[in-house]
Amino acid sequence: MRRACTRVLCAALLLTPLAAGCGGAQTGEVKLDTRPLEEPKVFEIINAVLKDRAYTAETDATLELTTQAKFKADFRIVGQKVAIEYVIDQDRVEMGLIPPPATGSRLHVLQADTVPTDPTQAPETIYIFFLDDKNYE
């Protein structure tokens, strides 16, 4: 036990100067220019996560919010009652008013109905995860 503690202490003493020499975080007065993630990059990230989790998604599924606004969701997870929409300025114009998320929350989920392409099918209730570009810079 004592030998193991000695080795850990020696390793820590050897690594401390190396870590100190790495420079650490820069804390100057430089202001970073931030902007929202661009939609193609977000789609790439979402596709990678869905693929990693073995989900399949369809794109441009037509949905209708309880506000009667119809729009095409960016992703609808096949076999799940879930859709994902990355909201950009163009979406805000097309969808109209989207009820805001809870105060202080970045998680924004609303209930919606699918708009079936076959008129004999009934709409299905699903949940849309809205990711607002203003929150992802």
Residue 14 has pLDDT above 80, yes or no: no
d(CA 105, CA 87): 16
Residue 2 is predicted with a pLDDT of 44
List the end-to-end C-alpha distance of the chain, in Å, as a whole number: 48
Q: What are the residue ranges spanned by the domains of the chain? A: 39-135
Per-residue pLDDT reduced to its tens digit, 19-54: 444 455 556 677 777 788 889 999 999 999 999 999
126 pLDDT tier (thresholds 50, 70, 90): very high
pLDDT in tens, 55-68: 999 988 888 887 77
> How far is it, in rounded angstroms, from Cα 128 to Cα 108?
8
Report how far residue 137's alpha carbon sits from residue 127's, in angstroms, rounded to the nearest whole number: 24
User: Is-contact 109 88, C-beta < 8 A?
Assistant: no
> Kindly report the CA angle at 48 between 42 and 54, in degrees rounded to 5?
135
